[in-house]
Amino acid sequence: MVKYKTDFDKFVIVSSCERRGWSKVTADSSEDWDFYWANVHTVKQLFMPENGFRLDPHQIINHFPNHYELTRKDLMVKNVKRYQKQCKKEGNDVPDLDFIPTTYMLPQDYSLFVEEFRRSSNSTWIMKPACKAQGRGIFLINKLAQVKKWANGPGTGRERREMENYVVSRYIDNPLLIGSKKFDLRLYVVVLSYRPLKAYLSDLGFARFCNIKYTTEMAEMDNQFVHLTNVAIQKRGLKYNSRHGNKWPLQDLRLFLEATRGREAADQFFKSAEMVIVNSLKAVQNVLINDIHCFELYGYDIIIDENLKPWLIEVNASPSLSATTKADRLLKCKVIHDTLSLVIPNDWPRTDRRPKSAPAYLARSMHVSEDPNHATPTRVGSLRLLYDETEEIEKGRARRDAQLQSDAQRRSKRHTMMGHMDRPMSAFI
Amino acid sequence: MDDDDEQRAVLALKELSNTDEIAKMRNAAKECLLKGGTADVEDIMSRVREALDLQGFKTKIENFGFSYARGLGVQHAKFASQGCLQKRSHSEQEKSSCTQRTNSDHEHIWKRLLMDRLCALREATGVPYVRPPRRPEEAERLRLQSAGHTSAQRIGEMDSPFSSPRISLVTSFLYSGEDFFHALMDIGKILRRNASVPINQVSLLPQRRPDDSPENKPPSDTRSNPSENGESFRTVKKMIDVPTRAEMAKFLKELSIEERHLGVDDLVCPWFRDQHNSRSQKVRDKGSIVECWKLARFGVPNPLRPDIWKIALGLPSTTKADHQYFESLCESVEEQEMLTDLLIEHDLQVLSGSQHFFPFEETLRSVLLAFSRDPAIGQCSSIPSVHFINAGTDETDMQYPPSGVLPFKGLIMLAAPLCMVYDDPTDVFVVFRSMYCRFWSRLMSFSLEGLPQPSLTGLCNIFESFILEIDPEVYHHLHLLGCPALQIAFPWIFGAFVGYLCIEELLLLWDRLLGWDSLVILPVLAAAVMTFRRKLLLDAKTADDLEEIIDDLSHIKIIPLLQSVLAVE
């Protein structure tokens, strides 16, 4: 009997576990679980060396110990910048690498930021707390005076400490607009391991729209409803409509882009978005502790500018599991369900207790389209294999082998040709 | 050709000769002749023909001739099966007299009903049918209040300063698909009544229900009288010559199972997808209407849809004049408010809850408002419109609203999918107007046309006959449950499946509407869906169970269903 534990009493988690016939562990302190969908604080406690708690080989948990290297805004930027430098040094300077807007950490990089700010007059910048969520504490600036005001702002010692870690990025002021409104993309990515890197991307995702028409007017710079797409913010607006929740299915976006920009541009955009995800994971690959008990479901936030270039805004370790509409709930259920199908080993006992009212298509996602004993299937439900480092290594090896072989063949041919040249041209003269 | 046709042909040719095209053609021909060469007439002619062809004139003339012939109703001579066409012409005479009688009865009753409801709406909201035009200063003041740069943007935005504050007082629609459904069920009674019964004793539609919500189903007695002409199970009396499944399969022969289609084969065979893509590009570049139709029957690739739909509808590429026309219609909305604007806003509120279309709310608002002010539509609208005498303005006998189309529940949903195809609101407007005149106006007409271009009556008859032929078990089971098949399928047919199918499949379906220039594929698909779900339907014990089963069509793939249901064993 599989025992699962969850820190989130959310339908999308509980239903996926229950339908597999798992039983829920209720005691908070219990360590007797097989699968744990934990929140980030619990995980932090768990992996602290002082606690001395070691995971059994079969236990699976949904976060990597130091996931914050990717999911904290400031650390993500630091890692990506280091990765970009490294690639440039190795001569791998590809345009794909430019996927985060120019960002500085405050207060450490304050002087660098001021220099850049002065150089690019008239640009808008966005200030974000390094480790808050749901759009809290975010604001736009276009004058240095506003930063100074914030830096010298009132506050007790503790508040100042909290205010200290901010990131300031160049604001993408030309986002792609649909219906004159700004939106961003939420994509779901599952990482099974970092070394070798194995990542999956879900076909299911959505665009989150602002309620109010986008404008770059100064007067509206402080209007969060125009600029910030977080659902937590837009929900509070007067124009919020809970029937659609401002979420637009990813397939509709693709259709729209194909029709209005052409197929090549649309395909190119989605490929670039995939490269953004892969590059961001590669950037932290060597920094993350690759614990075999761990996997992670990330919520990637990407903005599209009007040239159809994707920009990575941030990576969320705990993407929201609350559902705002019926469609949203179906989508999240499916993503969680596919994630579990992917990460749970095949030898775990399983009873398919599908609830009666579940639509038939949910059953289809259980189909794994490759040999189930194979460790890295190409597709599980909506999750498609995005990057498999072992495969890349294999391919690289195969390429090297082929190269070596063709070199060897060429050498031997030359040898035989040389040999032939000494003989008379024709033996029949 | 009879006199009428001849007159029309003369007018049409005159029209053509006045266009720039003829001048261009003359110039091209002159150039060709001046190039010199032999004096051989044949040679000259062939060179001129070649030159004209190169410049695309051959296609333009073909297109022109084709559109003209379509206007005469002979476009299906090449495409329709012999059988269908024969049937149509043979019963033409008896149908026309029938049509006249029903039409005038219906018109009268329908008009009265709409007037009553419109009156009630005016009472409830206190908004006049047409407000006097705004003074220029007031219009200017409102313009400054709004954030939009163009007129279309100003009237389109949510909470536009031009919109009426009385919108919250509108609680129901003027009419909806359900009203048509009831009317159709009662049509049989009208036809059989002899002339001695006075018109005003005929009650066509049920008394207005207190809340016109879609959840209110009609009473479970299906209103079909077993004593009628043996067709005891039909919800709507059979009034047209309905084709058999074999005849339908012949008419829709491109859907046969051997043919490859977008929506199914492109996913399996990449080579077909590429081949179809290049074929579509060639068709688009050539610009011939006939070829676009033939292509659309197999599906149109997404990126080429904007161009190909325009060609198939006979629309030239959008010009500055179109933009200006649209803008001027929007300006007339700014200048003068009408009661119908409130109805459009009410319809929009349904749309704004839609998961797929909510980003396009503003575009659709401006398109629908402009549409209601466009007098060019009135000519092709088949539903009887309401006329006003002295509607508070100087106009006498003005069609109300200028387009002749009183907004009803769901009009906006027929425009919504176009926003997924066209970015520019002018394009959406132009294409929607064309599709309305060509297709959607037939959904509101009781006329008794059969194949190839049936109206609503014909579509219902075709649906019932088709499902009776392919799956009588389901049909009778549903009838016994008190929820006849047509009652379930009617919203799908009347709404052209918008909001039921997922967008991709919906656009593939509309490709086929354009390809056959007919709505006939709607009832065929409706029957196919029902027979596809037959096991679940047959297991249902009560009418409530049915709702759950047929609620969600968003995973349906339409092409395999259509192909399998038309495959004649």
* pLDDT tens-digit map of A213-240: 777 776 777 777 777 777 777 777 777 7
Q: Using the beta-carbon criterion (under 8 Å), do B352 and A178 form an inter-chain contact?
A: no
| Nearest chain A alpha carbon to B308 | A259
Q: Using the beta-carbon criterion (under 8 Å), do A255 and B420 form an inter-chain contact?
A: yes
Chain B closest-CA separation from residue A360 CA (Å): 10
* DSSP H or E segment with residue B510: helix B503-516
Which of the two residues, A164 and B201, has the higher pLDDT score?
A164
pLDDT average, residue stretch A23-29: 82
d(CA B306, CA B427): 9
% of residues, chain A, pLDDT over 70: 86
pLDDT of residue A202: 95
Helix (H, G, I), strand (E, B) or coil at A314: strand
Nearest CB among B303, B355, B363 relative to A259 is that of B303
Complete DSSP assignment for B134-200: PPHHHHHHHHHHS--SSHHHHHHSTT-TTS-GGGGG--S-S--HHHHHHHHHHHHHHHHS-TTS-GG
Q: Using the beta-carbon criterion (under 8 Å), do A251 and B502 form an inter-chain contact?
A: yes
Q: Using the beta-carbon criterion (under 8 Å), do B147 and A213 form an inter-chain contact?
A: yes
Nearest CB among B302, B359, B504 relative to A178 is that of B359
pLDDT of residue B414: 93
Provide the β-strand partners of residue A384. Answer: A201, A379
Closest CA to B496 of B509, B515, B486: B509
pLDDT of residue B526: 93
- Among A383-392, B82-91, B257-266, B395-404, the minimum mean pLDDT is found in B82-91
pLDDT average, residue stretch A347-355: 64
pLDDT of residue A372: 42
d(CA B142, CA B160): 9
A368-371 long-range contacts (CB < 8 A, ≥24 apart) are A368/A341
Q: Is B155 on the interface with A (CB under 8 A)?
A: no
pLDDT band at A125 (very low <50, low <70, confident <90, very high): confident
In a 13 Å sphere around the CA of A408, the CA atoms on its Cβ side amount to 6
pLDDT average, residue stretch B33-59: 71
The mean of the pLDDT values for chain B is: 75
- Among A165-174, B268-277, B387-396, the minimum mean pLDDT is found in B387-396
pLDDT band at A304 (very low <50, low <70, confident <90, very high): very high
CB-CB neighbors (< 8 A) of A244 in chain B: 352-355, 358
Nearest CB among B355, B363, B422 relative to A327 is that of B355
pLDDT of residue B81: 29
Q: Is B53 on the interface with A (CB under 8 A)?
A: no
Q: Using the beta-carbon criterion (under 8 Å), do B359 and A215 form an inter-chain contact?
A: no
Q: Is A306 on the interface with B (CB under 8 A)?
A: no
Structure-block tokens of residue A284: 């932290």
Phi then psi for residue B544, to 5 deg, are: -70, -35
Question: Which pLDDT tens digit goes with each residue over B75-98?
Answer: 333 333 233 322 333 333 333 444
pLDDT of residue B529: 92
Phi then psi for residue B548, to 5 deg, are: -65, -35
> Is 60 exceeded by the pLDDT of residue B175?
yes
CB-CB neighbors (< 8 A) of B552 in chain A: 359
Which of the two residues, A201 and B131, has the higher pLDDT score?
A201
pLDDT band at B8 (very low <50, low <70, confident <90, very high): low
Strands, E, within B27-138: which ranges?
none
- Any idea which residue has 């009396």 for tokens? B237
> Is 80 exceeded by the pLDDT of residue B289?
yes
pLDDT band at A331 (very low <50, low <70, confident <90, very high): very high
Question: Which pLDDT tens digit goes with each residue over A251-296?
Answer: 999 999 998 898 899 999 999 999 999 999 999 999 998 888 899 9
pLDDT average, residue stretch A158-186: 79
Which of the two residues, B2 and B519, has the higher pLDDT score?
B519
CB-CB neighbors (< 8 A) of B359 in chain A: 178-179, 181, 183, 209, 248
pLDDT of residue B22: 67
Handedness of CA A80, A85, A86, A87 (dihedral sign): positive
Chain A closest-CA separation from residue B555 CA (Å): 8
> Is 50 exceeded by the pLDDT of residue B221?
no
pLDDT average, residue stretch A363-372: 41
Question: Which pLDDT tens digit goes with each residue over A235-254?
Answer: 777 777 777 788 899 999 99
pLDDT of residue B127: 80
Mutation target vs A (from B302, B364, B428, B548; most A CBs, 10 A cutoff): B302
Give the N- to C-terminal CA distance of chain A in Å, as an integer: 88
pLDDT band at A201 (very low <50, low <70, confident <90, very high): very high
Q: Using the beta-carbon criterion (under 8 Å), do A263 and B302 form an inter-chain contact?
A: yes
- Among A11-20, A58-67, A368-377, the minimum mean pLDDT is found in A368-377
CB atoms within 10 A of CB A326: 11
